[in-house]
Structure 1
Amino acid sequence: MFGLFKKKSEIEKLQESYSSMLSKAHKVSHSNRTEADRLMAEAEEIAKKIDALKNKSGN
């Protein structure tokens, strides 16, 4: 009940974006390999941002 209005952290937003990007890349990979590779590259950049935020908050 109290978590209903809880704002998402930056890491949570990036994780959702990352999983969405991977899903899109998988769907597109069947028809357009170049677009799928571009989406995978974007997903990897998001993963790097997530790692950087986790390392920053962990120290």
Structure 2
Amino acid sequence: MFGLFKSDPLKKLRKQYDAKLEEAMNAQRNGNIRGYAQLSEEADALWKQLEPLEKSQS
């Protein structure tokens, strides 16, 4: 019953990863290549945390 209120770390990381990718895409569209590179690097770091969790779930 109380497991209903626990947050899912996989879902939280996935949401952060998707948001970073979207920010990176917008930076690239606006011509901010340095910002795009930085945001892509941050998204890659999130992916490295996310990937093992996704593999363990499936």
Q: How does 1:16-27 map to 2 (within 5 A)?
A: 16-27=15-26
Unaligned regions of 5+ residues in structure 2, if any? none
Counterparts of 2:6 and 2:22 in 1: how far apart (Å)?
24
TM-score, structure 1 normalization: 0.75
Deviation at 1:55, TM superposition (A): 3.8
Unaligned regions of 5+ residues in structure 1, if any? none
Aligned residue number for residue 15 of structure 1: 14
Aligned residue number for residue 48 of structure 2: 48
Matched, 1:35 2:35: yes
TM-score, structure 2 normalization: 0.76
Counterparts of 2:55 and 2:9 in 1: how far apart (Å)?
13
Q: CA RMSD in A?
A: 1.8
Q: Deviations 1:19-55 (Å, cap 9, x if unpaired)?
A: 0000000001122100111100100111110112234
Q: Deviations 1:7-30 (Å, cap 9, x if unpaired)?
A: 431010000000000000000112
How many residues are aligned here?
54
Aligned-residue identity in percent: 22
